[in-house]
Chain A
Amino acid sequence: MKRFMSLLITVCILLGSLSVVAFAEEQIVLNVYNWGEYIEQETITMFEEKYPNIDVNYTTFDSNESMYSKIVSGAASYDIVIPSEYMVSKLIQEDMLAELDFSNIPNYKHIGEAYKNLASDPENKYSVPYFWGTVVVIYNSAFVSQEDVKDESLELLWNEKYAGKILMFDNPRDSFGISLTRLGYSMNSGNDKEWQEAAKELSEQKPIVQAYVMDAIFDKMEAGEAWIAPYYAGDALVIQETNPDIQFYIPKEGTNLFVDSMCILKTTEHKKEAELFINFMCEPEIGAMNADTVGYATPNTGAQKLLDPEITGNELIYPDEEYLKKNTEVFINLPQKTQMLQSTLWTDLKIISAEDGTEASAIDWIDAFCIIVIVAGGISALYFFIRNTKRKKLWKQ
């Protein structure tokens, strides 16, 4: 026992001194929080080689909302986050972002003018655009007939011919965006009626939907498990590399334009190093490496020049500005009231039965059943209570 204790103490002292040594070197850890499959890992290694005193701790999220709840819960502290524009404006409104010192980010000059001063950050004080893109409709040309795709419409997602082979986003903002656009309304509509109409369309679509998923759209489309899905143009291009049957178009009704930007959280302790990281990512060579891997459109004009002209000339990835202005819409942060409505409508959509798309038939007996259970539970609790007190009385006598 004694020997064990002394061993334990030695180990403790050793560990303690080790951590002191590590502390003395002042290795800075930079926590970067980004979308999944949204970087060329090699660039992180290159950054760490260039700045040996900085370690990058890179983690990923799969939706703006999950990123938001993670940072507000305080469960983990991040230095750099890369959300989409509507989340950037939400974070600015809630005073969670640090103002950037652009003298530390000289490579900002490479960012194209069209991507500066976006509506989400009008004076461009908080964010540096990382990638942008559009939501497109992708389909598997081996199974979907040319006849059905030639008008390049969102109707394809509601086409009953392909029941069970259609995927939708498991995210209310994106799915409602599609439904609202299809009806000719704005994705940022503040009109409750329009939202309810969009919800009705989605619930009519539910019986023919195979699944509501996010990143899994990639695998399911690639493997031919599903044939039709809305997805991001950049990823569609990457799927095409392994499955040449995959084709995609920008829907004629219009679509969502997103710009994901690098931001620094106010709580950071290493703002300067975080700015170094952002600057490094804006370097044309690095930007081009990333663009090559993730397939999205880069706002970095220097990087665009280094890319294969076949990619930068692709109208589906880099649509011309005229077209973007006319046919795309950027998400803005919805008012609180609309957010609540969206949440309720989405949950309702998920609760209804997948077979007939209605809840009405089941609701009557469910109500009756609930009431019976509650009443029966109450009566039996009362019965046991009375019986027990009677027994206790008998016991006392």
Chain B
Amino acid sequence: MNKNSKGLQRAMTAPFSVWMAIFIIIPIALVLFYAFTDANGSFTFENIMSIWEYRSTYIVSIELAFVATIICLILAYPLAYSISRMKARHQQTMVLLVMLPMWMNFLIRTYAWMTILEDTGLINTLLKAFLSLFGYEFEGFAMINTDGAIILGMVYNFLPYMILPIYTVLTKIDHSVIEAAKDLGANGLHVFTKVLLPQSVPGIISGITMVFVPAVSTFIISKLLGGGMTYLIGDIIENYFLGNTGEVNYNVGAALSLVLMVLILISMGIMNRFDKDAETSGGGLF
């Protein structure tokens, strides 16, 4: 019986293993291959070395993604906490509302932000109309095509990925623990720093990874909301693969994405150190 169930288990994982081999392992191997070869297929370090040229782009990408992640965290934590303290019925509705925007296509949602933020867009038109009632001549805010618009796009698109894991962890915290802390004389701040926060670390960490990783590698948000004014590392990788700048070079493109992957792996490794002491049960992704 035991033997049988083990065989069954193996059989059940087979489809995923095949999937993983075809769509994860082989592509990564290809990226590695292209990154360390030149156009003729012979081994070289040149692609990796040429990346030094793009250090400022890496910095900008990481900077924008970092700011977006922090904003997401600040917005998501209180929201996740208040959802987790609601009645079960209300919780379901709120989680549904958080997920609702994700049912629409990512690109369409980003296009929608363009028409909201433009100089002749929704916000500026309404503000102008409102202020002209009082006789003010209002020039409008310059919002689209700025770094701020890119950060907004990242926050809007990836916020649910921050809320959900934190919410999952917070619902698992027994309310009586908080009561016990209060009984023992802890004030609100102490309850938060000594009881809530340490227990929600796994959720925060998986939230940060799930927001930071897609934000740092995005290229379409910077193109649509940034107006092509700020290049993120994703834009440069796209250019090398599609040849938008007149040069198709898979090798440098692969090297750029390899370095990005390594940077992400390192930052995840650092974050998982924080996670070690906390309980790994709950919203943890890794």
Contacts and interface: CB of A to CB of B under 8 A. Distances in A.
Contact of A224 (B120, B236, B245): B120
A211 B228 contact: yes
Contacts of B119: 164, 225
A63 interface: yes
B129 interface: no
Nearest to A334: B246
A346 B243 CA distance: 12
Interface in A324-373: 334, 339-340, 342-343, 346-347, 350-351, 354, 359, 362-363, 366-367, 369-370
Nearest to A350: B231
Contacts of A346: 245-246
Interface in A364-387: 366-367, 369-370, 377
Contacts of B245: 65, 172, 342-343, 346-347
Interface stretch (A6-14, A66-74, A119-127, A309-317): A66-74
A176 B133 CA distance: 46
A343 B241 CA distance: 13
Contacts of B120: 223-225
A164 B124 CA distance: 15
A341 B144 CA distance: 31
B118 A225 contact: yes
A210 B246 contact: no
B228 A212 contact: yes
A225 to B, nearest CB: 5
B235 interface: yes
Contacts of A68: 243, 248
B197 interface: no
A170 interface: yes
B228 A343 contact: no
Interface string A210-248: 111100000000011100000000000000000000000
A37 B121 CA distance: 24
Interface in B125-180: 142, 144-145
A342 B56 CA distance: 20
Interface string B227-258: 11111000110010111111110000000000
A116 interface: no
A211 B227 contact: yes
Main secondary structure of the interface of B (DSSP, over half): loop
Interface in B32-64: 54-57, 59
Contacts of B246: 65, 172-173, 334, 339, 342-343, 346
Contacts of B79: none
A43 interface: no
A209 interface: yes
Contact of B228 (A170, A223, A342): A170
B59 A72 contact: no
Contact of A367 (B55, B230, B242, B243): B55
Contacts of A170: 228, 244
A301 interface: no
Contacts of A350: 228-231, 235
Contact of B244 (A66, A164, A224, A377): A66
Given A173-B246, A225-B119, A347-B239, A354 B230 contact: yes
B248 A351 contact: no
A186 interface: no
A65 B227 contact: no
B242 A69 contact: yes
Nearest to A65: B243
A171 interface: yes
A211 B56 contact: no
Contact of B229 (A209, A223, A224, A362): A209
A209 to B, nearest CB: 7
B21 interface: no
A359 B243 contact: no
A119 to B, nearest CB: 19
Nearest to B250: A73
A351 B226 CA distance: 13
A352 B241 CA distance: 22
B20 interface: no
A343 B247 contact: yes
A116 B243 CA distance: 29
A288 to B, nearest CB: 34
Given A164-B142, A347-B239, A377-B266, A213 B244 contact: no
A334 B59 CA distance: 33
B247 A340 contact: yes
A379 to B, nearest CB: 13
Interface string B24-37: 00000000000000
10 contacts: A69-B243, A164-B119, A206-B229, A211-B145, A211-B227, A346-B246, A350-B228, A350-B230, A366-B59, A370-B55
Given A164-B119, A350-B229, A350-B235, 4 more contacts: A63-B244, A225-B121, A351-B57, A370-B59
Interface of A: 63, 65-66, 68-69, 72, 164, 170-173, 206, 209-213, 223-225, 334, 339-340, 342-343, 346-347, 350-351, 354, 359, 362-363, 366-367, 369-370, 377
Q: Which 8 A-B pairs have the closest CB atoms?
A: A211-B227, A212-B228, A343-B247, A350-B231, A343-B245, A69-B243, A65-B243, A170-B228
Interface of B: 54-57, 59, 118-121, 142, 144-145, 227-231, 235-236, 239, 241-248, 266
